[in-house]
Chains A and B, each alone.
Chain A
């Protein structure tokens, strides 16, 4: 089982890479580490997102397993026509959505445990503004 680690400041949490969408999950894994800036969603609800030009995830142009609900602690990926991938990380009730209505994304990872500190750091961006994020491969301790 592959795991990833997400870090915002001192807050970290581990996620399990999902196997429901193997092509997207593998591309996401091969694109790590992702270093960027998370910004709070303005349409999607309780979620933050980061754009990445990393390959091969940025080259994916299809949505392998389309979902619209982004359950708490889920990471989803959706392609962006400008050649980057959008990575959404939810900390509450969230939905893949844009100005024209609902959109779709592929889930790639799921939080292990409650990830309280990281979820709090995600929520803090709503009033505190954007901040740096690091998404990397985690050592497998299982």
Chain B
């Protein structure tokens, strides 16, 4: 099972990816690693932060494991927009044109509570640097 290590402002967490349900999405994200980018709080999608990086943008990769709603600890991927979303609460894939479908890419399985605090901090304190790399 593919794992990601996600480190924000000194807090590190591990996510397990859905290799079987979202193989193309997992390959696209793993291909962009290691990734240093920024997590910005969502402005329309609720309780989540979003990394928007050109290396994550793969318009030819379709949506797999199609979902719209986000739940705490969920990792979602929008290959057309190059968005990687980490939810710390309930949310929904949404832009100024309405709701969207995204790939259900995985779940945070270690240290979600501490990571959630950092994700929530991006709302009040602004965007934070994030490092995403392959986990053990």
Contact = CB atoms under 8 A, between A and B. Distances in A.
Contacts of B41: 40, 42, 126
B123 interface: yes
B46 A43 contact: yes
B40 A42 contact: no
Interface stretch (B16-24, B105-113, B124-132): B124-132
Interface of A is mostly: mixed
A130 B125 contact: yes
B66 to A, nearest CB: 21
B65 to A, nearest CB: 23
B90 interface: yes
A37 to B, nearest CB: 8
A96 interface: no
A42 B124 contact: no
A93 B96 contact: yes
A59 B91 CA distance: 30
Contacts of A128: 126-127
A129 B40 CA distance: 10
Contact of B40 (A43, A92, A127): A127
Interface string A107-138: 00000000000000000011111100000000
A73 to B, nearest CB: 16
B44 A129 contact: no
A99 B126 contact: no
A39 interface: yes
B75 interface: no
B46 A99 contact: yes
Interface of A: 39-46, 92-93, 97, 99, 125-130
